[in-house]
Amino acid sequence: MATAGTRDRILDTTAEFFRHNGYNGTGLKQIVAEANAPFGSIYHFFPGGKEQLGREVISRSGLLYQELLTGIIDSAPDMVSGIGDCFAGAAVVLVETDYADACPIETVALEVASTNEPLREATAAVFDSWIAAATERIAEVVPDQARARQVAISVIALLEGAFVLSRSLRSVEPLEAAGATAVAALREAIGPERAQRGRHGSG
């Protein structure tokens, strides 16, 4: 049981460094130092080295973040306010972490997009999953599947783009503006006659 703890500690620590410093900005020595693990443990648990560790962290972080966001949406009274809550919640976390914790894989995704194909595929799998999950939920209130997917992608793009701007500017204004636009886009897709009963899950 002690071994499982070491592996998880390495994964958690790496995920945190990836969020703050990116993939190229994170060293393996840095990881084991912070995780209180011996250096050899990295290659014991991840024989593929930094790349394998990166793949697992990307998949894991992507899944965790998806569960976080879908949890927020499912806790909201309706889809529109759920989307708004996601942006508002992200703004709170951003301020609480001094503009460090935003999307767990965005920085890595851009770093590896043109330089490391296996890692690019790992980030693509995460984004695909997010888009599918968001489309599924939005489709509950936007019957047109193509339209639902377009809105889902736009909401995610607004969130990711706002993260870049907010972290760089050290201001939540982009997150607030993007959140308002996301809510408006979803409202428009739902349509005026359906907006009043935008609850999800109940036919």
Partner DNA sequence: GTCTATACTTTGATAGAC
Partner DNA sequence: GTCTATCAAAGTATAGAC
Residues that bind DNA (CB under 7 A): 2-3, 6, 26-30, 37-45, 49-51
φ, ψ at 24 (rounded to 5°): -70, -25
Residues 71 to 130: which contact its own copies by CB under 8 A? 98-100, 106-107, 109-111, 113-115, 120, 123-124, 127-128
Q: Say if residues 41 and 31 touch (Cβ distance below 8 Å).
A: no
Of 17 and 87, which CB lies nearer to DNA in the complex structure? 17
The binder of its own copies chosen from 66, 150, 195, 199 (CB under 8 A): 150
Q: Which does 71 bind (CB under 5 to 8 A by kind): its own copies, DNA, none?
A: none
φ, ψ at 141 (rounded to 5°): -115, -10
Give the C-alpha separation, 39 to 33, whole Å. Answer: 8
Q: Say if residues 60 and 14 touch (Cβ distance below 8 Å).
A: no
To its own copies, the closest distance from the beta carbon of 65 in angstroms equals 14
Binding segment (CB under 8 A) for its own copies, from list 4-12, 19-27, 32-40, 42-50: 19-27
Give the C-alpha separation, 81 to 109, whole Å. Answer: 29
Q: Say if residues 186 and 151 touch (Cβ distance below 8 Å).
A: yes
Of 7 and 195, which CB lies nearer to its own copies in the complex structure? 195
Its sign, for the CA torsion 35, 36, 38, 39, is positive
Q: Count CB neighbours of 164 within 10 A.
A: 15
Structure tokens at 115: 């330089």
Of 56 and 160, which CB lies nearer to its own copies in the complex structure? 160
To DNA, the closest distance from the beta carbon of 103 in angstroms equals 21
Using CB under 8 A as the criterion, which residues of the chain lie in contact with its own copies when the complex forms? 20-22, 24-25, 98-100, 106-107, 109-111, 113-115, 120, 123-124, 127-128, 131, 149-151, 153-154, 156-162, 164-165, 167-170, 173-174, 177-178, 180-181, 184-185, 188
